[in-house]
Chain A
């Protein structure tokens, strides 16, 4: 037989709580403890409020460009639920729910988008990296962070997030290849939200799925409903267990949708069909979970109102904290260039100038 099959594969798609409210008991039973769900719902309500308020802050000139997370709350939250405190979240910029659950103070994210690097000073003990601006480069850091955990034999792992557009970047492929080839404890999660600013995911790849991007590197790949907290939690837990057991990385494609513009500097109406948006608004992950919890008797209207009220108060407090922080010293941006500032930089910092007419500026009377 001259032609045989060298390799065959298939991509599973995992859905547990679908958009019509159907729940797969065989997969979903006990996945998230029922007594944890109210706290999760409160968290989601708060995160959605903060996200919508951040948009208003930008529009009123109180914050710079901001990328809204609305609609994409579940993938990173599922990761945070599936990992331990010592594990790493290596994210891009639509993972607020997971980062906050993992311990990042929300003020950090606001400060970042308010143009203040002090927001990137992740508190000690919170294993997360700051917002990653260059697309698709942070997955290599996740590979390295996980490599260090492997070298130190701690058992800790790293989960990294990126968009569908980022899978077109070379660094994504290098990270996937390093992690698989060196058997590093990494979970790759692609949030396929349909759009890389104005370019649809169909242009990013001619493949049927993004999940299959991982196959060529020799890692298990799975696709899940990214708007389904249960499906995402299941695939995350499986992937985290594999990583922790020393079996190497997993690639997860979370199929979700960016319900808002790319950032506050974008207007998606220029390129996105209104009908498509409507379709996905009906799949909004928050009402889906809320309806299911209410039907199960795990949540009710009064709890929701209470969550809305406390969420509002918390958002106000966080904004107040972020806006109330004392301005940095005028030369603060010099301070962390190196552990020890070179003399030439000290001179620039202290004199606030780069000219000297042949003399040190401080000698110029």
Chain B
């Protein structure tokens, strides 16, 4: 891969930092707050160097309180700012749930448009990094189920930058999940300037004709490994946005392939894969050659890291589902 003069090779986490820096240079209203985001640059270094460039008034080390971070960000957003709060791990979203779902999601409709909450909540997401309990979960369906929120999850550095800038500019609250397992998994050229990618649009990673695989976040990488192992022609879709769901891209693909496997880290029951399965069954019924399969985490508590790879769907479980669906 060659890198043009106006591009830089970056990891996903570097693309996040770059997106924040680009947007903060362009828009004085953007303010970052969270635990350890300042001098320390965040526990994943996603805000590295930003306090040095933009000052402690715009990159703010807040008290250690997730509800406080989100609740005060709501007030900032309602009053003309563009807060980008960071919650350190997805497992710590619980304390902020009330502010996210009782307020951030509701202010626009509650006030019939008088107050809006243009806030982007950055949250490292998912397992596979040998972290302690509550540092490895996949709660995206909870927030996708809440009307009024948008939920975005990139799987590449290029998408991370474009989607994060789009999220910050979005007039509504966005939960921006960052797949921490692939924060530093690979690099790719990322444009130096600010750019956006549309929220609500999936990406066809590889085109194929035999079977559609739908994935998001770190599972896109696992699904791609599985697809490479298959002799069949697999069409891999990276959702990029979880809510609102890009139904058209999924449906068009399954209409073509007639077979669909959905991959998620989250527990099986009532996850996003179930919603996609329902959608495909309802709208592609006559095109389907096989039942839609869901490759997911188990309906257990995510185990501590000695067993986390037993829990997380990997290429083996995905390829098994692909093969069974092809044979059906």
Contact = CB atoms under 8 A, between A and B. Distances in A.
Contacts of A144: 71-79, 83
Contacts of B170: 339
A182 interface: yes
A43 B25 CA distance: 49
B113 A342 contact: no
A357 interface: yes
Interface string B202-222: 000000000000000000000
A336 B282 contact: no
B39 to A, nearest CB: 16
A336 to B, nearest CB: 4
A40 B83 CA distance: 39
Contact of B111 (A117, A142, A152, A335): A117
A175 to B, nearest CB: 7
Contacts of A333: 109
Contact of A175 (B68, B76, B81, B150): B68
Residue with the greatest number of chain A CB neighbours at <10 A, chosen from B60, B70, B73, B114: B114
A294 B143 CA distance: 58
Interface string B237-280: 00000001101100000000000000000000000000000000
A192 interface: no
Interface stretch (A11-19, A65-73, A118-126, A281-289): A118-126
Interface residues of B, number: 51
Contacts, number: 145
Given A117-B109, A342-B200, A358-B283, 6 more contacts: A124-B114, A142-B75, A171-B98, A174-B63, A339-B108, A344-B247
In order of increasing CB-CB distance, the 6 nearest A-B pairs are A144-B75, A140-B71, A174-B68, A148-B79, A342-B244, A144-B72
A275 interface: no
B71 A120 contact: no
A32 to B, nearest CB: 29
Given A174-B65, A177-B63, A358 B285 contact: yes
Contacts of B68: 140, 143, 171, 174-175, 177-178
Contact of B112 (A121, A134, A174, A357): A121
A137 B267 CA distance: 31
12 contacts: A121-B111, A130-B110, A134-B98, A143-B68, A144-B73, A146-B75, A148-B80, A175-B71, A177-B68, A178-B68, A336-B109, A358-B284
Interface residues of A, number: 45
B102 A336 contact: no
Interface of B: 31, 57, 60, 62-63, 65, 67-68, 70-81, 83, 95, 98-99, 102-103, 108-116, 147-148, 150, 170-172, 200, 244-245, 247-248, 282-286
Contact of B71 (A117, A122, A137, A342): A137
A337 B109 CA distance: 5
Nearest to B58: A151
Contacts of A271: none
A356 B62 CA distance: 48
Interface string A175-205: 1011001100000000000000000000000
Contacts of A109: none
Contacts of A152: 80
A339 B172 contact: yes
A356 B63 contact: no
A317 B83 CA distance: 42
Interface string A139-159: 011111111110110000010
B113 A336 contact: yes
Contact of A178 (B62, B116, B245): B62
Contact of A338 (B57, B62, B172): B172
Interface string A298-332: 00000000000000000000000000000000000
B197 to A, nearest CB: 16
A33 interface: no
A127 B200 CA distance: 33
Contacts of A121: 111-114
A170 interface: yes
Given A144-B71, A178-B65, A336 B108 contact: yes
B283 A356 contact: yes
Nearest to A139: B71
Contacts of B78: 129, 141, 144-145, 148
Given A122-B111, A141-B103, A178-B65, A344 B244 contact: yes
A137 B97 CA distance: 12
A344 B172 CA distance: 17
A152 B116 CA distance: 18
A25 interface: no
A362 interface: no
Contacts of A359: 283
Contacts of B57: 151
Contact of B72 (A120, A140, A337): A140
A337 to B, nearest CB: 5
A143 B65 contact: no
A336 B108 CA distance: 6
B100 to A, nearest CB: 11
B284 to A, nearest CB: 8
Given A142-B75, A148-B75, A181-B63, A356 B282 contact: yes
B285 A140 contact: no
A153 to B, nearest CB: 11
A156 to B, nearest CB: 9
A175 B63 CA distance: 10
Contacts of B60: 182
A343 interface: yes
B110 A117 contact: yes
Nearest to A116: B112
Contact of B99 (A137, A335, A345, A357): A137
B112 A118 contact: yes
A129 B98 contact: no
Nearest to B109: A336
Nearest to A126: B114
A111 to B, nearest CB: 10
A242 to B, nearest CB: 19
Nearest to A129: B115
A118 B198 CA distance: 31
B114 A122 contact: yes
Residue with the greatest number of chain A CB neighbours at <10 A, chosen from B65, B112, B248: B112
